[in-house]
Amino acid sequence: MKIISISVNKKFLEKIDRTWEELGFSGRSEFIRAAVRKMIDESKYKFQDKIINVVLLLVHNRRFEKEISDVAHKYNGLITTQIHSHVGNKDCLEVFIVRGRSKEIKEMIHKFRQYKLKRLELVTL
């Protein structure tokens, strides 16, 4: 097995350590391999160029509200439902139900990612 190194700040490392222990992983490496494997699997199966249905969840800082809205408007032909809610004092939650060609959905997700999202979750239906 090859060894790689990654750089993370102290706070993020503390979150990694707390999470792998809570989830019952044997260590950081196993946890990080599982997380990377999940991302690889998602991109492998979810983005073949075909019509798919997905639920997309975003959490972002309110300062990006206009930019996120602009991306949503650009892709309004894909978005069948959108829910917007303020969470806490600084963040927004967006839930999108989306139907369209996987290639276009992938483009939309890349546009959203430009705005330092606190969380992005994608569920294929």
**pLDDT for the residue 70:** 97
pTM of the prediction? 0.70
**pLDDT for the residue 59:** 96
* Secondary structure of 62-78 as H, E, C letters: HHHHHHHHHHHHHCCCC
d(CA 53, CA 124): 6
d(CA 39, CA 32): 11
For the chain (125 residues), the mean pLDDT of every run of 10, in chain order, is: 92 94 90 86 67 93 96 97 95 97 91 92 84
Render pLDDT for 25-47 as a digit per residue (tens, 0 to 9). 899 999 999 889 877 766 665 55
**pLDDT for the residue 46:** 58
**pLDDT for the residue 44:** 61
